[in-house]
Amino acid sequence: MFKNISSILVLLCISTWMNAQYCFPTYSIACSSSAYIEYFSATGGVTAISNLLSGCNGGLPNNYIQVNQTVAQIQGLSFNFSVQAGAAFGQGHRIWIDWNQDLDFADPGEDVYVSPSSGTQAYTGTITVPVTAVPGITRMRVLCRYATVPGITDYCGTNFSFGECEDYYMNVIPSTPCSGQPTAGSVTPSSMTLCAGQTANLSLIGAVYQGNMTYQWQQSTNGGATWVNAVGGIGSNSPGFQTPSLNATIMYRMYMVCNNSNLADTTGPMTITVSGPSYATLPYVQDFETWTNFCGSQDVPNDYHWSNNPNTGNNSWRRNDEGNTANWLSNTFGMYYPSASSNTYSARFHSYYTNLTGDLDLFIDCSQQLGTKTMFFDYINDNSAGWGFDFLEVLLSTNGGLSFTTLGTFNSSTTWQNFSLPIVSNDPNTVIRFRGHGDFQFDTDFGIDNINVLAPCTGTPNAGSIANILPCANTPFNLTLTGNTLAGGLNYNWESAPTATGPWTALGVTVGPSYNTQISTPTYFRCIVDCPSSGFSDTTAALYVDLASFYYCYCISQALPPSFYFQNIGNVTIFDAQNSVLLNNGNAAPLLNNASPIYTYQTFANTVAPVNIYRDSTYSLFQTSIAQSSFFYNGYTTVYIDYNRDGVFDPANEMILGGVVNTPTQQMSGNFTVPANAQYGLTGMRLVYQIFGSSTSNNPCGTYSYGETEDYLVNIAFASM
């Protein structure tokens, strides 16, 4: 009977406050195009709020909605919140709570949060209920403004442009001092089943909330035989608790203490059943060729050592060609080339269309071989356009995923690069998390491939040899070992010298068999590989690294990663005066609806034989472009030959051709004559095809919005007698 009366009183209070007359802000533009509050949650209280993917609510002029959800908390205790805008346009956020229930947000202390900036990322924080807050149901206001951090009085501001205002209920529970035996009630829900990587929100029913109480959530991973304080999650010392991402079956209960009487009460346990992955043994290799259903459609590699959270949506990982199984929007967009570092496929994160995070977790048993392990992986994320800020974060858990530490973050990588990280764990329940951070910039996706987790080294390692390389002067390059021992925990000590016999200078120590450096003169390198656990080491032979010829080292020229206008050079053909074909590279069929235009730069200096040309001779060049879509956008192509072989394409004297590329032929053509003073020998030829380009905008160096650059070699030869 008492419970029914209490429920009626709460409903009456809510009804009263729903009809209370708070002022509202006004906007001049409807909250469309993601200029709104997309996600708001409040956890760790007696009750929680979860208003996710809410979209645009209300209409002009207020862009306002009253959400029928309540967060409840005791005077003096705190709750956590998270607020995030739609993915396309950054918003600033502010939160107010009417603590004294006087129908405004103007009193001191009622401005409870302001975001440090405007953006599309999640903003999080903690709000503490003042001990002086009036008990009962009151109003909480959450407001956003486009590209602006809201001011302290903006709860009723006027004539904002884009944005949204959402009101929620706040139930302030009085902190009447506790006495005697506390009542913990029971946990709700009493049981549940989750997929690996998901979280749960737990609260209490039938509990009596009073002041000077201690709340402690406890967990058991062995069926209730032993209990420890809850690890990870949000609100483990509050009446409401959000668990961490769970990967194995676990039990929770609440332990409640009245600090005035030193008496305690404990709820019965609740069980969360988790269908978790199996733990892989070492060494472990994964190249992401085949995926299968686990918690979603084609959401994990088919060895079942992985989980994927969320298992669907734009922020869910997928094999690079299977974004449709996660319901990715614009699933074929997002610059991503090549599609894999080995074989055909890779694991891809669709940051092109999300500003959220997504976790791809690998489960490894690290207890069979004691010592430091090493993980190698390949990574690509072409942010050369300059506006992308998505990145990969790699984290490690040694307790089955209840808590994580960050091992490293990885930003732009214009092509597939190999990275290595030490895995310091001897735990049988080790989890390596690949967390994608999206940016929703309509530019590129990023991905990982060729995962290799190695057991600790033993005995004497084999250093192998340093692979041959021919770098350009003062340009970064990677030294890489080949034929070496692959094991975890190895140290790679890199050294350089002016001669094969020294003197040797230490460069640095890496956890993987590669080292990034640059040189201005020819240099010798070697690597000392040591296994700390055994105390043995091995040293490579010295490698002489010379500098590449000038015709491999021209200035950078390339298009930015395209989000639209996927058009490339399809074919380049050169004829001599007798109409003999000297060069015929590429396939320009079909002109439209061609899947091939995915490049921003290609060099054929090493793969296509140099074209022999002669002084005072005239040649015809044809360049044909292709497009992914059924529509072709006009462009402009310029062609350069480094006639004086000085390593520079002089736009004034060495541009041999230039012309528009438009429909219906999608072709630029023209004749050029090799000057009489051209220097004999191999030299470079460059084609710069720029969509929307012109004779004034095309340049032999630098980046441009859309199109492609291609490099070739020509040989200015002596005429045969």
Confidence (pLDDT) at 10: 43
636-651 average pLDDT score: 98
In which band, very low, low, confident or very high, does the pLDDT at 564 lie, cut at 50, 70 and 90? low
Least confident of 38-52, 83-97, 235-249, 381-395: 381-395
Confidence (pLDDT) at 721: 55
350-369 average pLDDT score: 94
Closest to 300 in 3D by CA, of 249, 253, 341, 247: 247
Confidence (pLDDT) at 174: 95
Q: Please give the full DSSP string across 637-656, using - where no structure is assigned.
A: EEEEE-TT-SS---TTTSEE
The predicted-structure confidence for 479-522, as pLDDT tens digits, reads as follows: 999 999 999 999 999 999 999 999 999 999 999 999 999 999 99
Percent of the chain with pLDDT over 70: 96
Distance, in Å, from the CA atom of 576 to the CA atom of 565, rounded to the nearest integer, reads 33
Report phi then psi at 347, rounded to 5: -95, 130
Confidence (pLDDT) at 18: 45
Q: Percentage helix, strand, coil, to 5, in the chain?
A: 5, 45, 50
Which amino acid is residue 515, in one-letter code? Y
Percent of the chain with pLDDT over 90: 84
The predicted-structure confidence for 98-142, as pLDDT tens digits, reads as follows: 999 999 999 999 999 999 999 888 999 999 999 999 999 999 999
The predicted-structure confidence for 518-543, as pLDDT tens digits, reads as follows: 999 999 999 999 999 999 999 999 99
544-561 average pLDDT score: 94
Confidence (pLDDT) at 562: 66
Q: Please give the full DSSP string across 234-303, using - where no structure is assigned.
A: B-TTSSSEE---B-S-EEEEEEEEETTTTEEEEPPPEEEEEEPPPPBPSSEEE----EE-SSSTT-EETT
The mean of the pLDDT values for the chain is 92
Confidence (pLDDT) at 5: 38
Report phi then psi at 538, rounded to 5: -150, 155
Is residue 638 scored above 70 in pLDDT? yes
Distance, in Å, from the CA atom of 709 to the CA atom of 554, rounded to the nearest integer, reads 12
Closest to 479 in 3D by CA, of 490, 470, 487: 470
143-171 average pLDDT score: 94
Confidence (pLDDT) at 720: 66
Confidence (pLDDT) at 488: 94
The predicted-structure confidence for 439-466, as pLDDT tens digits, reads as follows: 887 788 999 999 999 999 999 999 999 9
Q: C-alpha dihedral over 626, 628, 629, 635, to 10 degrees? A: -40
647-666 average pLDDT score: 96
The two structure tokens encoding residue 563: 């989000």
Distance, in Å, from the CA atom of 245 to the CA atom of 353, rounded to the nearest integer, reads 24
In which band, very low, low, confident or very high, does the pLDDT at 435 lie, cut at 50, 70 and 90? very high
Is residue 88 scored above 80 in pLDDT? no
Confidence (pLDDT) at 386: 65
Is residue 563 scored above 70 in pLDDT? no
Confidence (pLDDT) at 705: 87
**358 in Cβ contact with 197 (< 8 Å):** no
Is residue 2 scored above 80 in pLDDT? no
Confidence (pLDDT) at 393: 98
**684 in Cβ contact with 557 (< 8 Å):** no
Is residue 290 scored above 90 in pLDDT? yes
The predicted-structure confidence for 314-358, as pLDDT tens digits, reads as follows: 999 999 999 999 999 888 888 788 899 989 999 999 998 888 899
**345 in Cβ contact with 321 (< 8 Å):** yes
Confidence (pLDDT) at 385: 66
Please give the model's pTM, rounded to 2 decimal places: 0.78
Cα angle vertex 92, ends 88, 96, to 5°?
135
Confidence (pLDDT) at 156: 93
Is residue 17 scored above 50 in pLDDT? no
In which band, very low, low, confident or very high, does the pLDDT at 4 lie, cut at 50, 70 and 90? very low
Higher pLDDT, 170 or 86: 170
Confidence (pLDDT) at 554: 97
The predicted-structure confidence for 400-416, as pLDDT tens digits, reads as follows: 999 999 999 999 998 99
367-380 average pLDDT score: 95
Is residue 12 scored above 70 in pLDDT? no
Does the CA dihedral 633-638-639-642 come out positive or negative?
Answer: negative
